[in-house]
A and B are shown apart, each in its own frame.
Chain A
């Protein structure tokens, strides 16, 4: 068993090691960023252990469902930490959490593009860095808009506002995608 694991690691290129490290760092960073919510402390040890195990699973087998489990764990931890702080949770730490999730997701995706010895080509990495930055923009906008309008938001109204932002973001993404498809 140990030999098989060692063989598995030996086949990884330097780029694969870096990508897989980014997967672990991304998920753990997203988990730890929840500590930035006012009133929320560091994640409990069980959360960290389970999150670390799921992140390691996603790093070792990036095209498995371990990544989904790690992402859901991050969401669950954030949901628990943000209970009672629906608006104040929307701070820089939320953007950091989204950033961690995107980093982990993209790193796992790049690692799974080819065989274990595969090193992503420069063009692919640049393409995904651009895309990663692009998809983070709506999250930042949501935080900024909600925080700016925090005084007017009460009760469930913020839900409709956020839903409207999501719909607008999705519509914009669809429009851009259709335009790029038409232009070939």
Chain B
């Protein structure tokens, strides 16, 4: 009965027994019947509680519907209680980092017969997190015995970056490959008209333009653009994190990368990922929903951290490389320029948050100097043909991609 892990009598039971017995004993010994009237209700409560004493050790486990969530999505955190004699459950859930709970205290309670309501938890930032840590306290019938409060271990949950609102109407420039949804710069088998030229050996008969052929008395054939897929390589700068967690440069980069990945995978493009800094995750290009899931999972595991050695995007010829960076690392800016020099189509999405708070005036001055250097880097990149755009959600890349598509192929620097 005194096992700390088991059922223990409550203070209410002790109080009812003491007051009830004293009332009955006092009434008989002192011959004062009114004491029976006063003590009888408590004696009855104590008797009922003792009669309903639990006979087995209960168990309580956290129950959650999902092990992956999107940022901001709500998941119910419940507790499943089994065991004889449990009448009431109090479940307290500790608030995970960056989470919003409903109710805010994280404490819910209910009678077992009525189903204990769950706590709703919404995690507001991507990344791995444990949800459901807390405690549970069980009370037996008539409030006579209590089990706990006992600690509960939550479940690991992977919070995927929120699908930031984003779409793109422009095609990815210079796609390579032989299948896909984008119009290639190459002429080949497709549906979109490219032009009319004299018939050549190997042209299909259905391509012959009979009207032009009759008029000119020579055989002419229509040509079409091939429809190709595109390779998009997302490079996330995780060398450092600037700003407040939740709206930091890394948050912006991860959410933007998630949005880009989602859009391009949806368009049938092959999307690869390289995280520079932190764990340095690399994901080879791929397509499809399962690949998108892998991309989001890798993005959710991104942490900031420095790396030693040269920084490389690892882009292949024909890829479109999208750098997501606050452009505050000179080696990284050099790596961007080096990638562009290889003849690869490169564009940079600036992920520096608008407001970065500083501890003191000295830091603020240093930060302003750093921003001046950053402006110089941005101008230098733009001058070398690498567009730098701020992430602003829908249509962020439309104009840039159209401009890049109109440009002639970059010549590889030697």
Interface residues of chain A, those whose CB is within 8 Å of chain B, are 13, 30, 37, 62-65, 67-68, 71-72, 74-75, 78-79, 82-83, 86-87, 89-90, 94-95, 97-98, 101-102, 105, 108-109, 112-115, 117-118, 120-121, 123-124, 127-128, 131-132, 135-136, 138-139, 142-143, 146, 156, 158-159, 162-163, 165-166, 169-170, 173-174, 177-178, 181
Contact = CB atoms under 8 A, between A and B. Distances in A.
Given A75-B35, A87-B33, A163-B28, A139 B41 contact: yes
B11 A142 contact: no
A105 B52 contact: no
A79 B78 CA distance: 50
B37 A166 contact: no
B37 A90 contact: yes
A173 B44 contact: yes
Nearest to B113: A123
A68 B88 CA distance: 24
B38 A63 contact: no
Interface string B103-116: 00101011100100
A174 B33 CA distance: 23
A86 B37 contact: no
Interface string B380-407: 0000000000000000000000000000
Given A114-B107, A142-B36, 20 more contacts: A13-B105, A71-B42, A78-B34, A79-B30, A79-B32, A82-B34, A101-B41, A101-B42, A105-B16, A105-B42, A109-B12, A114-B137, A115-B92, A121-B110, A142-B40, A156-B31, A159-B27, A162-B36, A163-B28, A173-B44
For the complex of A and B, the 10 pairs showing the least CB-CB separation, nearest first, are: A71-B19, A109-B12, A135-B41, A63-B11, A114-B90, A89-B34, A177-B51, A135-B44, A94-B37, A68-B15
Given A72-B22, A102-B42, A173-B47, A131 B142 contact: yes
Contacts of B28: 159, 163
Given A71-B19, A166-B36, A117 B107 contact: yes
Contacts of B90: 113-115, 118
B154 interface: no
B173 interface: no
A72 B109 contact: no
Contacts of A82: 32, 34-35
B339 interface: no
B19 A101 contact: yes
Contact of B43 (A124, A132, A143, A170): A170
A166 B24 contact: yes
Given A72-B18, A75-B23, A120 B109 contact: yes
Contacts of B109: 113-114, 118, 120-121, 124
Nearest to B135: A115
B325 interface: no
9 contacts: A37-B34, A67-B11, A75-B19, A113-B90, A113-B109, A114-B90, A114-B107, A124-B109, A142-B33
B244 interface: no
A127 B10 CA distance: 18
Contact of A162 (B15, B22, B27, B44): B27
A166 B92 CA distance: 41
Q: By DSSP majority rule, is chain A's interface helix, strand, loop, or mixed?
A: helix
B32, B37, B143: which has the most chain A beta carbons within 10 Å?
A: B37
B162 to A, nearest CB: 31
B139 interface: yes
Contacts of A166: 24, 36, 40, 43
Interface string B132-161: 000001010011000001000000000000
Contacts of A128: 143
B14 interface: yes
A118 B32 contact: no
Given A105-B15, A124-B109, A173-B48, A83 B32 contact: yes
B286 interface: no
Interface of B: 10-12, 14-16, 18-19, 22-24, 26-28, 30-45, 47-48, 51-52, 88, 90, 92, 105, 107, 109-111, 114, 137, 139, 142-143, 149
A71 B11 CA distance: 13
B41 A64 contact: no
Given A75-B19, A117-B107, A108 B12 contact: yes
B44 A170 contact: yes
Contact of A109 (B10, B31, B35, B110): B10
A90 B105 CA distance: 47
Contact of A139 (B19, B22, B24, B37): B37
Contacts of B24: 166
Contacts of A114: 90, 92, 107, 109, 137
A177 B18 CA distance: 21
Contacts of B10: 63, 109, 112
Q: Which of A97, A114, A121 has the most CB of B within 10 A?
A: A114
B389 to A, nearest CB: 48
Given A123-B114, A162-B33, A94 B12 contact: no
* Interface core residue of A109, A136, A142 (most chain B CB under 10 Å): A109
B50 to A, nearest CB: 9
Nearest to B42: A105
Contacts of B27: 159, 162
B37 A97 contact: yes
A2 to B, nearest CB: 25
